[in-house]
Structure 1
Amino acid sequence: MGFGDTAKRIQTLADKAEQTYKRLNDLRDEVEHTQTTVSDTGERVRALENEMAEQRAVLDAVAREVGVDLDSVSAQAHIAEAETATGDGVDTDDGTDTVPETDDEGTGSPANER
């Protein structure tokens, strides 16, 4: 094997090493950017959670002031959410769902059982 082949192989190896080094630097930059984004997102989430807690406290105070039963409202919301998630509506032939009617008070009792 001559010096020409050895020089060619060394140059190929040097080129690949340079490409690998560039890829590692690009990857390092991406990781740093991702870490910054995750950190910023975490701070925003904490701020939003604090703001939601403050808003909840204000809403609870207002609800108590006007005499709203918070437990009842919460229970109704959870029931409605569960019915939507489980698909308690009745399938019709046209592809739409119908939900059983409730009485005028919104208690969830079927209207025809009054």
Structure 2
Amino acid sequence: MKKIGIENIWVDGEVIDIESLAHILETQQLISSSLKLPVGTAPTLFLFKYSSPRLNKRFHTKYRKASIMAIASWFSNFLFYGAIEDAKECFASVYQALEFKKVLKNNNIKLLEKL
């Protein structure tokens, strides 16, 4: 790849609904473990399928954003958090998920084997 000028490859899956998020996370595990490439996604993208934070605050809540980001962060090397309005909840959520992951690893807790 470097011979043709490609230095980095990042694999990004497009989330359109909750089911696609599940498929993307499974695919991320396969690509990451077999090809050793960084994998990630924009997990809150499907929220915009139904609404934007500017148009429908009832659906596009900080709780939905935070929970989706926490789930996606388990197997991703990078995440696109979406609209700048989403940054606060998304960063806090991913931080908590990563801290929880560290606790599991440091205490040899096998809650989620494929972390």
Q: TM-score, normalised by structure 2?
A: 0.22
Larger Rg: 1
Larger RCO (alpha carbons 8 Å, 6+ apart)? 2
